């Protein structure tokens, strides 16, 4: 019997490609004769272009084309919205008119023979504007919050019982506001597209987490058939959500390539990565809790406001966790948006949940001190038996097991409850905990399996791998299902012509694509069985399907040891055996169960009482995420998510200058993210959790929950260390300086 492949901590199948530099990312696909395009970004925050001194730049060395709204072709911009596009509003049309909607919006594109020529010309281009003051600060008195128009996707407001009354009348109450800064994804790989036309066919080597949607979006923008476009992206240099949508630079690359009749390479500068490719919206939240003296929640109010652009309503699940996380008869959540003169935000790792849970879990921590109850005990006293918002059971929920395991590994028992009570020499030590949760999503997906005569198997899906290890985990699923060693599987992704998959985000790739691959493998096996039992020369001729079994790459009659190998069956067939598979969640099961992952995150910080430096010393996370396909990669995801959470808690913040909306710290040295020296001991554990409902693989997803919960755990630890409650992220030195 083959050793089970799922659950093995195998190293990455693409590891060798990545450590040798052979893994090719979008900007690595240099094309013969390619030209270089550089975007000119608006230098005002709102207004109108009044002049472009094009002639001077067009004469500059190497310049092949200067494309502006005056000479760009009029694009179709047909209606197209995918699930990752805002339901309300219309995407930015690029170089189609003289309007400037936000600082940094593309206003021109220079195409030249070399990068240096293109950059020089782009800098030299003079654009004049009629500028108006933009509104970029949600705290500005002129800023108004609006009720989002969700087009029926979800409700911005939810309520059960009378939460406000319950809070007002509770023996113990807490009412606080929390704020989180705007963040930018800042993947290491800048957005990049190389566009090449061949007649009316377009190839895009383009950084994308959603290839089939990039294909469909560009088809809609150009008004051309979807099948005339191929998007290729075998490797993504991190994305964290920024490459879910197809942004204007992809359109610009295609536009330029068509105009100049040559392949065009367009890579955003690091500064431009802060302009038009989305950001985690800044959020303002109010949480009000009412509780009995023994810590039972009687009322919960959670009001959250996010920011969006003037032209699209970006929404995220800011208050969603509050609906189901704890048991409480009276809960009211509300979500609002503030429209600002900025680009549209988009999903960033743990979107909505990560921001919302910072407020809720900080508030729960504050309440625990008011009550004098251990923070974990407070969660235990409010552990629900079901999803009280949906009034249905959880498909699985291991939160209390996560707290138990995490507390033991972390050494929570050593914590003394009083703030400022723990020290290491001069340093103030704090320990904090917080809950993590994220929905276990599953979207329809497809895959193809091809059994070859040499005994190897090709598996294809238009999926992506931005770093979690899709290449490896999908190889494991195929190997396990087919009963083959993983070395015999070649999983390919990153082409829009492969079978369609959902976006590579929302922690649903394993569930969705994995299930489709499993289905395709099962279908391939069925084909093989039919061939083997229909062939009179086969040892399995006329054997009933129910008597067959698969093992070690062989098909045999149950109880027998010989049988026939794939290789032989495929060789006899004379052609590869190809099977398509698709999978989606059973709607009936989805109706019956509430499906979420849960986890508990513990952080220890050391705060220097003299100079205010905050350093994280340890983080321990325990997660219930269903089946773990690859523990090595899963742990790596978790520790990576913790590091993202550290950035959220203590460093990351995009700062806009209110005068014209420019991001002032649009630079890798000024937008702080953790470096190696910041990283302490990190430890991730998984509780044994079998969820028979979520999907056939039993997986609940990991990428997002790995980040969710870390920031409040750190913020709670900072309070425990210093006695100062900081309700605004990131927490910087000056916030605890006078603590």
129 is a contact residue toward another protein (CB under 8 A): yes
Per CB under 8 A, contacts with another protein among 221-260 are: 235-240
Residue 593 and residue 700 in contact, taking contact as beta carbons nearer than 8 Å: no
Residue 110 and residue 256 in contact, taking contact as beta carbons nearer than 8 Å: no
- CA distance linking residue 69 with residue 50, whole number of Å: 11
Contacting range for another protein; rule: CB under 8 A; set: 316-324, 541-549, 631-639, 686-694:
631-639
Residue 193 and residue 207 in contact, taking contact as beta carbons nearer than 8 Å: yes
Q: What is the DSSP letter of 25?
A: B
- CA distance linking residue 621 with residue 406, whole number of Å: 6
Number of residues that bind another protein (CB under 8 A): 115
Contacting range for another protein; rule: CB under 8 A; set: 126-134, 213-221, 439-447, 506-514:
126-134
Per CB under 8 A, contacts with another protein among 635-654 are: 635-637, 639-644, 650-651, 653
Identify which of residues 10 and 301 has a Cβ nearer to another protein in the complex.
10
x/- site string to another protein, residues 100 to 119, per CB under 8 A? --------------xxx--x
* Token pair for 356: 């919302």
Q: Clarify whether 604 is annotated catalytic.
A: no
123 is a contact residue toward another protein (CB under 8 A): yes
List 485, 592, 659, 692, residue binding another protein (CB under 8 A): 659
- CA distance linking residue 320 with residue 109, whole number of Å: 41
* Token pair for 542: 């006329």
394 is a contact residue toward another protein (CB under 8 A): no
If DSSP codes are grouped into helix, strand and coil, which group holds residue 514?
A: helix
- CA distance linking residue 427 with residue 610, whole number of Å: 9
Identify which of residues 653 and 693 has a Cβ nearer to another protein in the complex.
653
**Whole-Å CA distances, 159 to 169, 320, 370, 735:** 17, 11, 25, 35
- CA distance linking residue 444 with residue 581, whole number of Å: 11
Per CB under 8 A, contacts with another protein among 569-608 are: 608
- The separation between CA 140 and the C-alpha centre of its own chain, rounded to angstroms, equals 30
Identify which of residues 38 and 459 has a Cβ nearer to another protein in the complex.
38
| Beta carbon of residue 185, minimum distance to another protein (angstroms, whole number) | 8
| Beta carbon of residue 524, minimum distance to another protein (angstroms, whole number) | 30
| Beta carbon of residue 107, minimum distance to another protein (angstroms, whole number) | 10
DSSP string, 529-571: HHHHHH-TTSTTTT--GGGEEEETTEEEETT-S--EEHHHHHH
Identify which of residues 398 and 475 has a Cβ nearer to another protein in the complex.
475
Cis-peptide into 191, omega within 30 deg: no
Catalytic residue among 58, 458, 704, 734: 704
12 is a contact residue toward another protein (CB under 8 A): yes
- CA distance linking residue 116 with residue 124, whole number of Å: 12
Q: How many CA atoms lie less than 13 Å away from 239 in the CB half-sphere?
A: 30
| Beta carbon of residue 264, minimum distance to another protein (angstroms, whole number) | 14
15 is a contact residue toward another protein (CB under 8 A): yes
List 413, 545, 677, 690, residue binding another protein (CB under 8 A): 677
Residue 515's nearest CA partner among 678, 699, 315 is 699
Q: What is the DSSP letter of 720?
A: H
Identify which of residues 78 and 139 has a Cβ nearer to another protein in the complex.
139
Give the total residue count for the chain: 739
98 is a contact residue toward another protein (CB under 8 A): no
List 384, 417, 455, 612, residue binding another protein (CB under 8 A): 612
181 is a contact residue toward another protein (CB under 8 A): yes
Identify which of residues 176 and 737 has a Cβ nearer to another protein in the complex.
737
β-strands 127-131, 201-206 pairing: unpaired
Identify which of residues 378 and 706 has a Cβ nearer to another protein in the complex.
706
List 4, 33, 50, 59, residue binding another protein (CB under 8 A): 59
Per CB under 8 A, contacts with another protein among 710-739 are: 728, 730, 732-735, 737-738
Q: How many CA atoms lie less than 13 Å away from 572 in the CB half-sphere?
A: 18
Identify which of residues 38 and 325 has a Cβ nearer to another protein in the complex.
38
Residue 485 and residue 455 in contact, taking contact as beta carbons nearer than 8 Å: no
Per CB under 8 A, contacts with another protein among 325-384 are: none
Contacting range for another protein; rule: CB under 8 A; set: 51-59, 338-346, 352-360, 376-384:
51-59
| Beta carbon of residue 433, minimum distance to another protein (angstroms, whole number) | 20
> Ramachandran region of residue 622, left (φ > 0), alpha (ψ -120 to 50) or beta?
beta
Residue 497 and residue 462 in contact, taking contact as beta carbons nearer than 8 Å: yes
x/- site string to another protein, residues 437 to 476, per CB under 8 A? -----------------------------xxxx-------
x/- site string to another protein, residues 524 to 563, per CB under 8 A? ----------------------------------------
176 is a contact residue toward another protein (CB under 8 A): no
Which residues are annotated as catalytic? 704
């Amino acid at each position: 019997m083959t050793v089970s492949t799922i659950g093995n901590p195998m190293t990455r199948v693409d590891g060798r490609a990545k450590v040798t530099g052979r893994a090719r990312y979008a900007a690595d696909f240099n094309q013969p004769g390619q030209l270089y395009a550089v975007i000119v970004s608006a230098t005002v925050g709102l207004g109108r272009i009044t002049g472009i001194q094009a002639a001077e730049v067009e004469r500059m060395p190497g310049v092949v084309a200067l494309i502006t709204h005056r000479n760009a072709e009029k694009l179709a911009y047909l209606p197209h919205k995918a699930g990752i596009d805002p339901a309300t509003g219309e995407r930015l049309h690029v170089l189609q008119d003289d309007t400037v909607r936000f600082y940094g919006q593309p206003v021109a594109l220079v195409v030249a023979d070399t990068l240096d020529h293109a950059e020089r010309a782009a800098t030299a281009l003079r654009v004049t504007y009629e500028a108006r003051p933009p509104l970029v600060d949600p705290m500005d008195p002129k800023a108004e919050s609006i009720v989002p128009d969700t087009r029926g996707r979800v409700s911005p407001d939810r309520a059960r019982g009378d939460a406000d009354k319950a809070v007002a009348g509770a023996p113990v109450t807490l009412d606080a506001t929390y704020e989180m800064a705007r963040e930018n994804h800042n993947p290491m790989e800048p957005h990049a597209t190389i566009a090449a036309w061949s007649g009316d066919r377009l190839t895009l080597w383009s950084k994308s987490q959603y290839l089939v949607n990039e294909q469909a979006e560009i088809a809609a923008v150009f008004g051309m058939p979807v099948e005339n476009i191929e998007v290729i992206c075998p490797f993504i240099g991190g994305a964290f959500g920024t490459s879910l949508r197809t942004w204007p630079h992809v359109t610009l690359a295609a536009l330029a390539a068509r105009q100049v009749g040559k392949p065009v390479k367009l890579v955003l500068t690091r500064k431009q990565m802060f302009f038009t490719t989305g950001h985690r919206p800044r959020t303002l939240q109010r949480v009000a809790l009412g509780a009995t003296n023994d810590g039972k929640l009687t009322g919960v109010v959670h009001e959250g406001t996010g920011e969006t652009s003037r032209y699209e309503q970006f929404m995220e699940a800011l208050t969603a966790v509050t609906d189901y996380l704890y048991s409480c008869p009276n809960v009211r959540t509300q979500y609002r948006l503030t429209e600002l003169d900025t680009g549209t935000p988009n999903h960033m790792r743990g979107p909505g949940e990560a921001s919302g849970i910072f407020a809720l879990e900080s508030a729960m921590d504050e309440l625990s001190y008011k009550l004098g109850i251990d923070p974990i005990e407070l969660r235990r006293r409010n552990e629900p038996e079901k999803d009280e918002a949906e009034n249905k059971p959880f498909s699985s929920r291991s939160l209390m097991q996560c707290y138990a395991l995490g507390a033991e590994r972390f050494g929570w028992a050593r914590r003394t409850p009083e703030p400022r009570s723990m020290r290491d020499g001069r340093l103030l030590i704090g320990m904090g905990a917080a809950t993590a949760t994220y929905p276990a999503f599953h979207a329809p997906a497809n895959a193809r399996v091809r059994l070859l005569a040499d005994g190897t198997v090709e598996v294809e899906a238009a999926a992506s791998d931005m770093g979690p290890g899709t290449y490896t985990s999908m190889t494991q699923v195929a190997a396990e299902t087919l009963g083959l060693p993983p070395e015999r599987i070649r999983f390919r992704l990153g082409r829009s012509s492969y079978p369609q998959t959902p976006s590579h985000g929302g922690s649903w790739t394993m569930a969705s694509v994995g299930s489709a691959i499993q289905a395709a493998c099962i279908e391939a096996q069925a084909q093989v069985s039919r061939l083997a039992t229909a062939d009179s020369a086969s040892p399995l001729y006329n054997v009933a399907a129910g008597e067959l079994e698969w093992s070690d790459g062989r098909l045999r009659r149950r109880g027998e040891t010989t049988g026939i190998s794939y290789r032989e069956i495929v060789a006899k067939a004379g052609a590869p055996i190809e099977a398509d598979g698709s999978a989606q969640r059973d709607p009936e099961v989805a109706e019956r169960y509430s499906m979420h992952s849960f986890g508990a995150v513990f952080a220890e910080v050391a705060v220097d009482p003299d100079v205010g430096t905050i350093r994280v010393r340890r983080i321990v996370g325990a997660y219930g995420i269903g089946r773990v396909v690859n523990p090595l990669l899963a742990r790596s995801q978790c520790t990576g998510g913790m590091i993202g959470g550290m950035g959220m808690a203590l460093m990351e913040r995009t700062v806009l200058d209110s005068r014209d909306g420019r991001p002032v710290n649009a630079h890798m040295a000024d937008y702080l993210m953790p470096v190696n020296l910041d990283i302490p001991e990190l430890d991730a554990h998984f509780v044994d959790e079998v969820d028979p409902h979520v999907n056939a693989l039993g997986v609940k997803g990991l990428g997002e929950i790995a980040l969710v919960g870390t920031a409040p755990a750190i913020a709670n630890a900072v309070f425990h260390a210093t006695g100062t409650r900081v309700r605004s992220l990131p927490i910087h030195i000056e916030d605890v300086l006078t603590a």
